[in-house]
A and B are shown apart, each in its own frame.
Chain A
Amino acid sequence: MSINWQAFRLTIELAVVVSAILFAIGLPLAYWITFSRWRWKFLVEALVALPIVLPPTVLGFYLLVALGSRSPLGRWWQSMTGHTLAFTFTGLVIGSILYSLPFAVQPFAASFSSVDCKLLAASATLGASPFRTFFRVVLPLSVPGLVTGVVLAFAHTMGEFGVVLMIGGNIPGVTRTVSIDIYDQVQASNYAAANATALLLLVFCFAVLTAVYGLNRRTPNQRSWTIGPVK
């Protein structure tokens, strides 16, 4: 079996980094989307949801332009580090974060807004600041949504192809992810290798999702917050 372990490791690394960063920036963003009363909030919501409908190549193309040496951002990065963002692992991370943003933010926001607003009122009358209310009430009661968001972001990053191809290219050990590797194998009529890698990816993703949904399952008598840390 000629599984490309290097590509596999790279893909998992990318998915872990991206879902960790998405967790960190997704929480405040989802909080803002849920609780803000700004009248133009819907514009931000639409912007966040854009990658769901946009072809990855469109996003990848604009990212390539934005990260390349002709754009101000690309030039600034190049002057700081000596190389461009495009065709690097960092560039891949930036692209993947944007591409997977709605898959983390939307479940987060949905679970925040499903917390009974009376609990928030009760928390405030007991002297808690919005910040404390968020960490003591909203977050613990949103654990299933948080898990779902992180897992979806992880899985979505694992399987992405278009964005990676556009801004990452195909550099072994740097930007060649599993999906690119499979595509290459098929192009080279190397079906056995493609099958081995594809099967491994399939089993891995299924195992992760099974584990998460299994732990996160809701039954009428079993409250969902029992899996999450409370304090």
Chain B
Amino acid sequence: MPTPAEPKPANPTLTARIRKNFPSAERAFSLEVEFGAAPGFTILFGPSGSGKTTLLDCVAGLATPDAGRIAVGGRVLFDANASTNVSVAKRGVGYVLQDLALFPHLTVEQNTEYGLTHLPRALRKERATAMLQEFRIEHLRQQRPAEISGGERQRVALARALVTDPCVLLLDEPLAALDAATKSKILDDLRRWNQAHRIPILYVTHSREEVFALGERVLVLEQGRIIAQGTPHEVLRAPLQETVAQLAGFENIFDATVWLVHEDRGTITCRLPGDKAGTFVLLETPLIRAEAGSLLRVGIRAGDILLAIVKPEGLSARNIIAGKLVSLERRDMIIFARVNCGIEMEVHLTLAARDTLNLMPGKEVWLVIKTHSCHLMQH
């Protein structure tokens, strides 16, 4: 923990280069990242298992990288080459763990004062009280964590970490369990605090909604690598890595070429080569940063496709494609239909839909696919 006398760097940017391997017979994993985080929020976004928590643990000192360097401003916390490894207790990194880890046997006030033992009692109390007021939980000071609500516990965890005046704040999915209203109130308080205390805040989440709501700089982490960074708009407009698509369960994945880019409409038209040579299917998909002629992949969930027996009209969906039913297979309570419309697509239907529409192999059908049901990925 930095003593109060230690001068704080004027621009305490977190710079980290981390390599850490987890050799394992069944599931080897390696984290290899390099990034900087200026004062203010930086969002670390990625699916579970992408190495987000390991990254935070390395910055906090709870895990030791195999190689790399971690520094805040000019202060080096870890440097494999110089064998520098400041201990967890001396790093002065605020860390709100995923399930908060409030001390269950201590009151809110005792939890908040926990990191201030180096101060005289009166000053400790003063600092804790100020922080409890800032996060609007002063009235709970005598309660224990089990006696307060989830949002209040979240506030206590933030207050406990921030009262120590950390040089960096790490938040591991801090608001995942809270409702939107509570979440945004807590974020407002945290933002206000961050205005007065310019430190980097690394905010981990796996929720796209949260990334958009926060609207700050995003680092996209996947399988231990940073695969994209920028504003949420830039990053989420970039094509996804195919691995995400497979995790997200796309039954239909096709190669595609960007045919036309409609910047004005916010869509692009993709050309999917058909099963027979020379044929193709056109699909209207969301706009991404891609040039005409570039190769992509399109993923469509089988449950996102509608099936009609007459050509639908007056729909907002941009893709209405004629095809022929190839097969219908019942698995449990779902019908797995395969439709050939130049390419073969899997469509999931209910039993009732099959019976009402009198579906059987060979029947002419139309597939209806919304633009935003077409997910573009890197080839």
> Does A140 lie within 8 Å of B160, measured CB to CB?
no
Indicate whether A189 reaches chain B with its CB closer than 8 angstroms. no
> Does A128 lie within 8 Å of B101, measured CB to CB?
no
Give the complex CA separation of A149 and B63 in angstroms. 33
> Does A137 lie within 8 Å of B103, measured CB to CB?
yes
- The secondary structure that dominates the B interface is loop
Contact with B along A116-128 (1 / 0, CB 8 A): 1011011111111
> Does A126 lie within 8 Å of B62, measured CB to CB?
no
Q: Which residues of B contact A223 (CB under 8 A)?
A: 104-105, 144, 146
Q: Which residues of A contact B34 (CB under 8 A)?
A: none
> Does B95 lie within 8 Å of A125, measured CB to CB?
yes
Q: Which residues of A contact B105 (CB under 8 A)?
A: 140-141, 223, 225, 230
- Which of B91, B105, B146, B161 has its CB near the most chain A CB atoms (within 10 A)? B105
Contact with A along B82-124 (1 / 0, CB 8 A): 0000011111111101010111111000000011011000000
Interface size class of B (residues with CB under 8 A): 20 to 34
- B binding-site residues for A, Cβ under 8 Å: 1, 60-62, 87-95, 97, 99, 101-106, 114-115, 117-118, 144, 146, 160-161, 164
Would you list 25 pairs from A and B whose C-beta atoms are within 8 A, ordered by A residue?
A118-B97, A119-B101, A121-B95, A122-B95, A122-B97, A122-B102, A123-B103, A124-B87, A125-B88, A125-B89, A125-B91, A126-B114, A126-B161, A127-B89, A127-B117, A127-B164, A128-B114, A129-B89, A137-B103, A140-B105, A141-B105, A223-B105, A223-B146, A225-B105, A230-B106
Q: Which residues of B contact A122 (CB under 8 A)?
A: 95, 97, 101-103
Give the complex CA separation of A64 and B326 in angstroms. 89
- A binding-site residues for B, Cβ under 8 Å: 116, 118-119, 121-129, 132, 136-137, 140-141, 223, 225, 230
Instruction: Give the Cβ gap from A122 to chain B, nearest Cβ, in Å.
Output: 4
Q: Which residues of B contact A136 (CB under 8 A)?
A: 103, 114
> Does A121 lie within 8 Å of B101, measured CB to CB?
yes
Of chain B, the residue at the smallest CB distance from A124 is B88
With A116-B101, A140-B105 already in contact, the answer to whether A123 and B114 are too (CB < 8 A) is yes
Q: Which residues of B contact A132 (CB under 8 A)?
A: 117
Q: Which residues of B contact A129 (CB under 8 A)?
A: 89
> Does B62 lie within 8 Å of A125, measured CB to CB?
yes
A-B pair number, CB within 8 angstroms: 68
Q: Which residues of A contact B61 (CB under 8 A)?
A: 124-125
> Does A126 lie within 8 Å of B101, measured CB to CB?
no
Q: Which residues of A contact B60 (CB under 8 A)?
A: 121, 125
Of chain A, the residue at the smallest CB distance from B99 is A118
- Which of A127, A128, A129, A140 has its CB near the most chain B CB atoms (within 10 A)? A127
Q: Which residues of B contact A116 (CB under 8 A)?
A: 101
> Does A126 lie within 8 Å of B97, measured CB to CB?
no
> Does A121 lie within 8 Å of B1, measured CB to CB?
no
> Does B93 lie within 8 Å of A125, measured CB to CB?
yes
Q: Which residues of B contact A123 (CB under 8 A)?
A: 103, 114
Give the complex CA separation of A128 and B103 in angstroms. 13
Instruction: Give the Cβ gap from A205 to chain B, nearest Cβ, in Å.
Output: 31
> Does B99 lie within 8 Å of A128, measured CB to CB?
no
Within 8 Å by CB of A127, from B1, B101, B102, B103, lies: B1
With A124-B62, A223-B146 already in contact, the answer to whether A119 and B103 are too (CB < 8 A) is yes
